[in-house]
Amino acid sequence: MSAETDIAVLGAGPAGGAAALAAAAGGARVVLIDEQAHPGGQVWRKKDVDLPGLAETPETCAGARLRGDLEASGATFLGGTRLWHIERVEGGWRLHLLTRGDRAETLTARAAILAPGAREFVQPFAGWTTPGVYGLAGATALMKSQGCPPGRRSVVAGGGPLALFAAAEILRLGGEVAAVATPNGRGDWLRCAPILAANPALARRGAELIARIRRAGVPILWRHVVTRAEGDRALIRVHAAPCGAEWAPTGAARAFDADALCVGHGLIPNVDVAVLAGLPRVYDADRGGWVVEAGPDGRTALEGLFLCGDGAALRGAETAARAGAGTGQAALADLRGTPAPPPAPRRPDLRARFGRAMTALARPRPGLLRLTRPNTVVCRCESLTRATLDAAIDAGAAGLDALKSATRCGMGPCGGRYCLTAAARLIEDRTGAAEGTVPPPVPRPPLFPLPVAAVAAGFDYDDLPIPAPAPL
């Protein structure tokens, strides 16, 4: 089946939701696509389980508001739908979708707004493949949608505010927290004091989270990283050691009995769709690593293609929503041929500064590489250890495409989402190259594993416009 519309928006989080609302308010036909069943994105996620008595939070309220506004807006929401390819066509963009029930469909739009958000980075460490070890951001997603804590007794580890949020959320849902281990020092947070003071509402929320953790008697281990997860079919123990300013472990580890570990080392903007569409990547650690350039109104170098939210630069939900609204208006103006709305007045954007400071707290530091030992599995899908990858690097694999063909790293079902960032850093480390010089491989369609049913429904892999492979 194929359909067409004025504006297609990918991602129904704060950014894409606001973009769809702005464009629909101007009368454009808008289709909003998300693989989740409901709008809300990562942060304003809807509860899937009906648990009477569970109090609302600022995030659930913001999500309910967004879902209500979208309902009333005239924009069409395609939930449970994955975009697995995008290509330029005469007069617009064609989006290849896998809808609920696994049907392959296409949607042609005069303009496409990409708001795919971010995904999580976890530095491989000993035992991270043990069942019971979860991504930190993923664990927040679990708690928000399913209303259950990740285990009976959890260790929470990571930088920035997300670790504090996750720990407080576990307690709220009736779980126990054995410890919070954060690579940030108290001084890192103190340096954010002026920015926190300028954002009293957000700062108060953070203080409440810390108070809840302290009241429960949970130890907060500043400047600590998790070095090892222990267990066979299930996690039984977590080891956390002190670390230096660059996050390399420096001393003896303490052990905590736990059946869940929520661990994360920052977020990565989802740039794959923008790159498939033809935009180049640049490295900017401040924006989140490999990113694609987009203006403040979401415009990119390609006509009719817009990008906003955490998928463009990690700045948090509030900034994503504001950028989304501006991007929706810009796309609408281009469609109409009317002048774009005047740029927002240049006053200091406190929310953006806050988002930037929080991103900086969580940005993975180079010392994390020490967590990945020679026998640590790096590529989960193919169970490849660091030693295997190092051997291939020593034998000449100086880029990720070469490493992939030499070892199959990143070629399993996850498509390399959970290993290639770490693998790039391993190559940089081993070859003495600077951070951000080994680019991720060029993404190829399909971005998600396509089920046979979709192929049987008239889709043929041979029809795929496969771009020429990048030179090794």
Partner 1 sequence: MSRTADTPAPVRITFDGRDYDARPGESLAAALLRAGVPATTQRHAPGPARGAFCWMGWCQECRVRHRGRWVEACRLTVYDGLTAEARRAADVR
- Distance, in Å, from the CA atom of 377 to the CA atom of 332, rounded to the nearest integer, reads 47
Is 421 a binding residue for ligand FAD by CB under 6 A? The answer is no
Tell me which residue has tokens 């498509």.
415
Looking at 11, 63, 124, 445, which residue binds ligand FAD (CB under 6 A)? 11
The site partner of 443 among ligand FAD, partner 1, none (C-beta below 5 to 8 Å per kind) is none
Residue number, 116 or 441, with CB nearest to ligand FAD: 116
The piece of 48-56, 84-92, 306-314, 340-348 that touches partner 1 (CB under 8 A) is 48-56
364 contacts 247 by C-beta, under 8 angstroms: yes
- The CA angle 391-239-412, to the nearest 5 degrees, is 40
Residue number, 16 or 124, with CB nearest to ligand FAD: 16
Q: How many residues bind partner 1 (CB under 8 A)?
A: 44
The piece of 35-43, 277-285, 450-458, 459-467 that touches ligand FAD (CB under 6 A) is 35-43
The piece of 105-113, 129-137, 288-296, 350-358 that touches partner 1 (CB under 8 A) is 129-137
* Residue 8: closest CA among 89, 64, 69: 89
Torsion sign (Cα): 22, 25, 28, 32? positive
Half-sphere exposure of 428 (CA within 13 A, CB side): 15
Site string (71-90) toward ligand FAD, x via CB under 6 A: -----------xx-------
* Residue 33: closest CA among 104, 98, 88: 98
Restricting to residues 400-429, name those near partner 1 by CB under 8 A. 412-414, 417-418
Is 206 a binding residue for ligand FAD by CB under 6 A? The answer is no
The DSSP line for 332-345 is HHHHHTPPPPPPPP
183 contacts 243 by C-beta, under 8 angstroms: yes
H helix or E strand, kind and range, residue 82: strand 82-89
CB of residue 192 to partner 1, shortest distance in Å:
28
Is 94 a binding residue for partner 1 by CB under 8 A? The answer is no
Is 466 a binding residue for partner 1 by CB under 8 A? The answer is no
199 contacts 354 by C-beta, under 8 angstroms: yes
* Residue 238: closest CA among 216, 213, 221, 215: 221
Looking at 7, 225, 362, 381, which residue binds partner 1 (CB under 8 A)? 381
Count Cβ atoms below 10 Å from residue 462 Cβ, excluding itself.
5
Rg (CA), the chain: 22
Residue number, 115 or 335, with CB nearest to ligand FAD: 115
92 contacts 110 by C-beta, under 8 angstroms: yes
Do the strands 220-222 and 176-182 form a parallel or antiparallel pair, or are they unpaired? Answer: parallel
Is 138 a binding residue for ligand FAD by CB under 6 A? The answer is yes
The site partner of 375 among ligand FAD, partner 1, none (C-beta below 5 to 8 Å per kind) is none
**Interface residues with ligand FAD (CB under 6 A)?**
10-16, 33-36, 41-43, 82-83, 115-120, 137-138, 140-141, 165, 267, 270, 273, 309-311, 316-317, 320, 447
**Interface residues with partner 1 (CB under 8 A)?**
35, 42, 48-52, 119-120, 129-135, 138-139, 141-142, 145-146, 148, 150-151, 232-235, 259-260, 380-383, 412-414, 417-418, 449, 451-453
